[in-house]
Amino acid sequence: MNKEFQLTLDDVGSNGNQNIETLFALANGFLGVRASLPIAEEGCNAGSFVNGFYETSDITYGENAYGYAKQHQTMVKLFDFRTIELKINDCDKFTLSSRQMNLDMGKGVLQEKYVYTTSLNQEVQIEIESFASHKNRSVYAQKWRIMPLNFSGTIGVNKQAVHIQPNKVREDDPRKKESSAALQIDEEKVQTKNSGQILYYRFDDYQSEKLVEIGEEISFVQCYEMSKTPLSSIKIDYEVMKEAQQTIFQDFWSISDIELEGNVQLQKGIRFNLFHLFSSAGRDGKTNFSAKGLTGEGYEGHYFWDTEMYLLPFFIFTQPEIAKSLLQYRRNILPKAKERASELGYKGALFTWRTINGEETSAYYPAGTAQLHINADIAYAFELYEKVTGDTKFLSSAKDVLYETARFWLDYGFYSKRGFELHEVTGPDEYTALVNNNYYTNQMAKNNLYYAVKLANQYQEYVEEAVDWKKAADAMFVGYDEEKKLTKQDDSFLEKEKWHFEQTPKEKYPLLLHYHPMKIYKYQVLKQADVLLAHMLFPRGVEQEKRDFDYYEPLTTHDSSLSKAIYGVVASRIGYEKKAYDFFKESAIMDLEDTHENANHGIHAANMGGCWLGLIYGFAGLRVEGEEIVFHNHLPKEFTSLKFRYLHKGNVQEVVLTQDEKTNGDFGSS
């Protein structure tokens, strides 16, 4: 057993039950199951989810306005597959005496061992082995062994899937949300009331009552099946499926593993992050990757730009088939994006900020719909996919996404004497809203327009329109303060008063939970990387990037988990090695150590992708230049070596960085 691929409770910072449920959760892109205790305790939050299985309800506004999002979309919390009802002689009350968990990330299997004690000091051991099958994604399988440790007696077992009843609590934290919904459940399917979704299921319930001697055990296997289409009657063989699981995980790691020598904890953090990325990504072209994966109900299971800008680089470079299905999802919701643009009075398509079914579900438009950059983020990801994989076939089937987003920009922006401008937008930094010419948005929109022009010329379609797209891209205004020699985050940012950090006690962070937007928006204060994210994608030279880093980083609260990883990448590239190391470290252990104190809501998926960016775009300095993938060794002195693989146009490439080979030059593969 390779220790480096094993996650145990010793590796985890907080042993709170809800944290453990998230960190040890199992998922396969279709379903996810939180690793809750077999015997429920106060404060547990057991449950399972199916990607894209959601319920809708009307959003009630105190003051409504035209075009506001109309409906909540909420990933439904489904069954608790983990709770067991146990009886020893007449006793059904137990105290948990010991707990061991071992997530074998190398094989995609979770092993657990518990000892429970009755008031008469009878000890019973429970062992569970489980996995969310990647061979047959409708299956979550468990194998149980129950044995008396110091008594002989009658052991009664009742193990059934339990539906978790909705529990309405008012939440003031916008990052959490109630995910349970009243379901109509019959013998073979569950149905949501409003969204009309159907999920077929088949569960192996288990019941027994036996006299068991010390040394004997009760053992049984359970397969829980859920599917959006009627289930086939093929019998599942647990052992065969487990074998397949191991092969699939071996294949995954053979390409996607990263070996970082010099710090065992960070190495574990990296593998943990990659494990969850592989586990929660939708695979069917109709679902995506929710901000918390399939591990928790935070952000209601919504898909954001997180996928395109934080997760897709990892998938594009190491698991292109998954990347393709995540992009296919965007292609599939293009009609909704066209409807949304039209509803807002614009041509083309506008992808929604938060969504499951393609419709906008963000009720707060200044930090939601106004983040128009999502259009360009999606375009950027399609382009990166094409460049790295060479899969022009897929692009030719999805190029409408690029044309329609380009049409939107052309209609949304306008010409002034300064160039082509984009007003009233919100960039990635959600502590600054509804501004003119957000630098990131304008750079990304420009890139979006150019890529649409390239495709139009290549496929000889819409060539006349493409002339206008190119004109707008050429004229795109980007703000720069000549006096301060700084990139302007937007037209007004540098004119604002700076946030009074010295008067802000620690407990007032994250600011969004303690200050009204009218306070936050008025100041120079960032929630997350904005200009620097643009620099990561469109480098502006070390001197400029340093100046911008020195200016914007101290104004950044990093209240968003999407922030540090990006600052880390840029820090690597501009030679701020210590900062690069520190930021990377935090992104590697964010969930393991629960540094944002909300891992109980689910993993921070974007940060997990950010961890990959920190290593590959940061330490290894990866850049895509034309047809070439170029690297630069920025390995911090804390590490002796970094080794990873990636796929370029179908060919596996391996990169090894060491301290000895640290040179100033670029190297690459084409």
- Please list the active-site residues: 430
Q: Which is nearer to ligand BGC, 306 or 591 (CB)?
A: 306
Nearer to ligand BGC, 177 or 347 (CB): 177
Residue (22 or 142) nearer to ligand BGC, CB: 22
Which amino acid is residue 533, in one-letter code? L
Q: How far apart are CA 386 and CA 392, in angstroms?
A: 6
Residue 305 annotated as lining a ligand binding site: yes
Contact 469, 406 (CB under 8 A): yes
H helices of 211-304, in order, are 238-256, 264-280
As measured in angstroms, the least distance from the Cβ of 52 to ligand BGC is 17
What is the nearest approach in angstroms of ligand BGC to the Cβ of residue 457? Answer: 33
User: What is the C-alpha separation between 312 and 382, in angstroms, rounded?
Assistant: 9
Q: How far is the CB of 305 from ligand BGC (least distance, A)?
A: 6
612 is in an annotated binding site: no
Residue 554, helix vs strand vs coil: helix
Whichever of 249 and 304 has its CB closer to ligand BGC, that residue is 304
Using an 8 Å Cβ cutoff, are 97 and 123 in contact? yes
Cα–Cα–Cα angle for 318, 650, 134, nearest 5°? 45
Do 205 and 160 contact (CB within 8 A), yes or no?
yes
Nearer to ligand BGC, 406 or 536 (CB): 536
Q: How far apart are CA 16 and CA 24, in angstroms?
A: 12
Q: From the CB of 370, what's the least distance to ligand BGC, in Å? A: 13
- CA 545/CA 547 separation, integer angstroms: 5
End-to-end CA, the chain: 37
Who contacts 637 (Cβ-Cβ below 8 Å, separation ≥6)? 577, 659
* Three-state SS letters, 378-441: HHHHHHHHHHHHCCHHHHHHHCHHHHHHHHHHHHHCEEECCEEECCCECCCCCCCCCECCCHHH
HSE-CB at 584 with a 13 A cutoff on CA atoms is 31
Residue 257 marked ligand-binding:
no
Residue placing its CB nearer to ligand BGC in the complex, 487 or 557: 557
Q: Which two tokens stand for residue 388?
A: 């790295």
Select 23 or 86, whichever has its Cβ closest to ligand BGC.
23
- C-alpha 78/C-alpha 21 separation (Å) is 15
Residue among 479 and 602 whose Cβ is closer to ligand BGC: 602
CB of 353 to ligand BGC, least distance (A): 8
Residues 84, 38: contact at Cβ < 8 Å?
A: yes
10 Å CB burial of residue 554 (0-12, 13-18, 19+) is exposed
Torsion of CA 38, 44, 46, 49, to 10 degrees: -160
Contacting positions for ligand BGC (CB under 6 A): 291, 299, 304-306, 428, 430, 527-528, 560, 562, 606
C-alpha 330: how far from chain center: 16
Q: What's the min distance (Å) between Cβ of 605 and ligand BGC?
A: 8
Which residue reads 């052991």 in tokens?
A: 155
Residue with tokens 């299956």: 139
CA distances to 8, 78, 131, 139, 207 from 204, in Å: 28, 16, 15, 11, 10
Q: Is 527 annotated as a binding residue?
A: yes
Q: Please, what is the minimum distance in Å from the beta carbon of residue 351 to ligand BGC?
A: 13
Q: How far is the CB of 292 from ligand BGC (least distance, A)?
A: 8
Binding residues: 305-306, 527-528
Binding residues for substrate: 305-306, 527-528
